[in-house]
Structure formats: structure tokens, C-alpha cells
Amino acid sequence: MSTPSESGKTLVTLILGDGIGAEVSGSARRIVDATGAPIEWEEREAGAEVFKRGLPSGVPQDTIDSINRSRVVLKGPLETPVGFGEKSANVTLRKLFETYANIRPARELPGVVTPYTGRGVDLVVVRENVEDLYAGIEHMQTPGVAQCLKLISRKGCEKIVRLAFEFARSEGRTSVACATKSNIMKLTEGMLKRTFEEIAAEYPEIEAWHVIVDNCAHQLVKRPEQFDVIVTTNMNGDILSDLTSGLVGGLGFAPSANLGSDVAIFEAVHGSAPKYAGKDTINPTAMIGASIMMLRHLGMFDQAAAIESAILFTLESGVATRDVVGDERAVGTTAFTDAVISNLGRRAAAYQERAYRPIEMPSFSPDPVRVRPAQRAVVGVDVFVESELQPDQLGPSVEQLAEGSRLRLKVVTNRGTRVYPSTGTMTDCVDSYPCRFVPAAGGEVTDADVIDLLGRIGAEHRWNHIEKLYEFDGEPAFTKAQGED
């Protein structure tokens, strides 16, 4: 996926980043260059300064053009300013280049003392990186009720699950756990679980198991050494991967890779920490670790191994920044970098090196459809009504309005709970009521039925959106509310 430059070296787009970005990115670049890795750097901008120039995305066209040429990016932390600009430039880059997988390793390091020292923590979180709640699709249903769409696709699940297994193979790992909240979100989180269980059969040499995500968090704190690779959805992965970083010393030791079919972006997980910019005190290990992951991606395994061994030797010998050893014994960013360079070729005494091989990136058809049911039917419609009425007032009102149409009111819900017909319990309601309608005399629901119903309801109430209720191959493709028959 990488591109050779005119010099014959591999072209890499380098985005220094904001705040401390120039220091940690500069450290990683110096060390990579010291190994003799055949890389030609092409520096480009993104982030705060670009926002300030009035570009809402924070990513200028010449940066996009560079990435289209190089296909590989080493990126420092980017700031998302408050009060100007739009979405995060980090997220923009991931989405523009469909880097659908976020890889976050967490491994115990010599000289970095934590409550888990000696436990052998060595795991990787493989996080889906472009869908779920992070698609950022939000609406205000009413002035006081917001919604965010949790989008999980079969295609997205296939991509992240296959990559998790291929990554496990590339590192000689023997176990992949799938962490979901499928006990509650049976259609969205459940899709990842079902896809995982289907694809796992294609990797019989790797143990595959499922864990509910809250129990996964519990187990990570209680016994993290039981995990090898964890694959999960975007929001879950964001949370769990920060937790796993905490097991091995914090975000200063947390590199990551954002991998796609065409482009790979490597970065430290930590932020831009502007108050420390220019003070030569920041730990560059996470950014150096990102460069190691980049070198492996490029097939430069010898250079990657040399840097990893040098970092481990440096930390084992007690040379570290203030976040590890405190101010009195600490060295600065530059001195730490110098020490790593001087230790190239040395190996830590108490650290077992892992054998790596290239990841076989899965290939996928561009066809957006992954599931083609033999049969489909619209068996109802949810109409979301904004109302100040109580359920025992709203329910009879919409029932009366629907009289004479082909649809009848089945249930009114509020925040996922049935409130009409009454269950005899108490529910504190907000002013957004999904009203579920089904055919009064059987059959399917047509668009004409829905349009007629909306006209009737709209005569007295404000409705804000609808959801068709499908059956695919005879199975309902929607959930019931709490208390719904």
C-alpha cells in the first residue's frame, strides 16, 4: 500500500501535529532516520492552525493530496479548537480515508511501574473506527430531547472482525475476544456478535470467545493477562483501549494504528497538551511506538525491531521522562530520544521479543449491500410525536385521529417503555412519544398508508420523524418496547 518516491525510498506523509506534536513527532522521525529506514518524509499540515485559517475540516487539500500519494501517514496529536472549526480533524482524516480499524496495543514495559507490574499484560484492542455512535449523526427530536443514531453495518462488522483475526495471526496470538453489549442492543451490538461467531469458524487455530463489554472492563481490571486480542465496536473500543493503556503506564505509552484497505495512519493516542509545548519534558514513547507500528506495516521489520529493543533497553536502564520517574530523576524529550538512538542494537534483558509478519489485509467488494433477504415486508410504522400531553391524553387522541385509516395504534412509548395502554406503573415522560401503528386488518403497510396517517396525526400534533417496521425473511427487524406485548 506504500508508494516509492523518486529517490526509491518509501514516501510517508508526516503531520507534526499541534501543541507537543512537533516534539514527539520530531523524536519519532529522528529515531526512524537513525535506523537507516528508507523513508522519504513529506511534511503536511492539519489541525488547529488550519482551523484558524478558516478551513472547517482542519485538513487542507494539499495534505489530502499527499496522503493519496503516500498511502501512509505518521501523525502527531491534533487539537480540535473550541469556538471555531467543525468536527475533529483526527476523525475527518479517519473517515476521508476509510481507516476502519483502530489498533491499540498495551504491553507491560520494563522500568514502568504500575499496579500490574509482573502480571504479563500483553493485549491489543481492535476497535471499529468509522461507524457506531461516532458516525456523529444527531438530531434534536424536540427542543429537550436529543438522539444519536447508532449505525452498525454487516459490512463494517465483517471488516473489523476479519482484520482482528488477521492481526492475531500476524503477531502469533492465539485468542480473540469479541466484546459487545448485545444483551441489550440485540440488533446493533448483536450484529457484531453474530458476524464474529460466523467468521471465527474460518480461523480454527485461534480461540474465539464472546464477553459482555461491561464484564470485559471488569475482567481487564481484575485479570488482564487473560486477554490477547479484543475486537469491539467504536464507542466500546474507545473506552476499553484507554483503560488498557492505564494498565501499562498511561497514554504516554499508547501508540495506535488506523488501518484501511488503502491508507494507514499511525499516531499516539494522547492529546496535544499545549501547556507543555516547547518545554522538552514530554514522553515521546507513544509516538515512537506508532512509528514502530508504521515500520512493520511497511515491511521494515528489522528497523522496527531495532527501535523497540532500544526503547525497552532505555526504559530498563532507568532512563525515562518525568511521568515515569518523577522530576528529580527525569530526562527531557530530547535526552530520551538521544538515549534511544544511542541504544539502537541493544536488547533488554527481561523482555521477550515477539515474531511479527505482515498483516493480510482483508479485501472487500465495493458493493454496499452485504445482506440480501429473500423476502421483506413493512409490518408497521413508528411515528414520533412531540407532545406536552400525558400518555393517557395523547394515546386516545392519536387513536381517534387514526380512525378510518388502514392503521391502528398498537402502543405509545417513551424512552423505550410502554406508556399507553397503561401498564399501571409510573413512567416519567419527556415530550417525544414514538407511536407504533400496525395494519388494522392485516397485510402490509404501504407508503400511501403512512402518508395518510401522517396527515391525520399532523392535523392536531407535531410529528418529527418515522421509522418503518420491517420483517426480513419472516423475522422482525425491530425491537419491542419494555412492557410491549
Q: Mind spelling out the 3-state secondary structure of the chain? A: CCEECCCCCEEEEEECCCCCHHHHHHHHHHHHHHCCCCEEEEEECCCHHHHHCCCCCCCCHHHHHHHHHHCEEEECCCCCCCCCCCCCHHHHHHHHCCCCEEEEEEECCCCCCCCCCCCCCEEEEEEECCCEHHHCCEEEEECCEEEECCECCHHHHHHHHHHHHHHHHHCCCCEEEEEECCCCCCCHHHHHHHHHHHHHCCCCCCEEEEEEHHHHHHHHHHCHHHCCEEEECHHHHHHHHHHHHHHCCCHHHCEEEEECCCCEEEEECCCCCHHHCCCCCCCCHHHHHHHHHHHHHCCCHHHHHHHHHHHHHHHHCCCCCHHHHCCCCCCCHHHHHHHHHHCCCCCCCCCCCCCCCCCCCCCCCCCCCCCCCCCEEEEEEEEEEECCCCHHHHHHHHHHHHCCCCEEEEEEEECCEEEECCCCCCCCCCCEEEEEEEECCCCCCCHHHHHHHHHHHHCCCEEEEEEEEEEECCEECCCCCECCC
Average pLDDT over residues 352-374: 89
What does pTM read for this prediction? Answer: 0.93
CB 263 within 8 A of CB 129: no
- Please report whether residue 182 resides in a domain: yes
Q: At 260, which amino acid appears?
A: G
Do 142 and 69 share a domain, yes or no? no
Q: Which of 28, 46, 45 is nearest to 37 (CA)?
A: 28
Cα(265)–Cα(99) distance, integer angstroms: 8
- Asked if 241 and 279 sit in the same domain, the reply is no
Q: Position 25: which residue type? A: S
b/e map 359-390, b = 16+ CB within 10 Å:
bebbeeeeeeeeeeeeeebbbbbbbbbbbebe
Q: CA-to-CA distance for 75 and 88, rounded, in angstroms?
A: 14
Return d(Cα 217, Cα 214) in angstroms, integer: 5
Whichever domain contains 28, its CATH number is 3.40.718.10
Distance CA 245, CA 124 (A): 10
317 & 430 share domain = no
Please check whether residue 192 lies inside any domain of the structure. yes
Q: 111-132: per-residue pLDDT in tens?
A: 999 999 999 999 999 999 999 9
Same structural domain for residues 279 and 385?
Answer: no
**Shared domain check, 141 and 69:** no
The dihedral sign for the CA sequence 22, 265, 67, 86: negative
Residue 73 has pLDDT above 70, yes or no: yes
Q: Is residue 225 part of a domain?
A: yes
Please tell me whether residues 173 and 286 are part of one structural domain.
no
The 10 Å CB-count burial string (b at 16+, else e) for 42-54 is bebbbbbebbeee
Domain end, chosen from 213, 247, 281, is at 247
Supply 341's cell numbers.
538512538
* Cell 400496525 found at: 438
207 domain-assigned? yes
Res 480 pLDDT > 80: yes
Task: Let me know if residue 370 belongs to a domain.
Answer: no
* pLDDT confidence of residue 51: 87
Tell me the per-residue pLDDT of 286-322, one tens digit each, with 9 for 90 and over. 999 999 999 999 999 999 999 999 999 999 999 999 8
User: CB–CB of 192/161 below 8 Å?
Assistant: yes
CATH number at 461 reads: 3.30.70.1570
- Confidence label for 17 from pLDDT (cuts 50, 70 and 90): very high
399: exposed, middle or buried (Cβ count in 10 Å: 0-12, 13-18, 19+): middle
Cell match 505482515: residue?
Answer: 358
Do both 333 and 414 map to the same domain?
no
Please identify, among 198, 218, 247, the residue that sits at the C-terminal boundary of a domain: 247
Q: Residue 43 domain-assigned?
A: yes
Q: What is the largest CA-CA distance in the chain?
A: 84
Residue 83 has pLDDT above 60, yes or no: no
Same domain, 63 and 19: yes
pLDDT single digits (tens) 431-477 = 999 999 999 998 999 999 999 999 999 999 999 999 999 999 999 99
Q: Provide the residue count of the chain.
A: 485
Give the pLDDT score at 86: 61
The residue range of the domain holding 315 is 1-100+265-355
| Same structural domain, 381 and 440 | yes
Instruction: Specify whether 140 is located in the same domain as 229.
Output: yes
Mean per-residue pLDDT, 203-229: 98
pLDDT at 186 over 80: yes
Counted domains in the chain:
3
Please state, in angstroms and rounded to a whole number, the distance separating the CA atoms of residues 250 and 320. Answer: 14
In the predicted model, what is the mean pLDDT of residues 163-177? Answer: 96
More confident position, 332 or 136: 332
User: Tell me, what's the pLDDT at 81?
Assistant: 65
Closest CA to 406 of 445, 353, 356, 457: 445
Residues 340 and 446 in one domain: no
Within a domain: 176: yes
Return the closest-CA partner of residue 263 out of 78, 75, 130, 70. 70
Q: Which residue has the cell 507534526?
A: 16
Same domain, 199 and 148: yes
Inside any domain, residue 193:
yes
Q: Which of 126, 130, 115, 105 is nearest to 286 (CA)?
A: 105
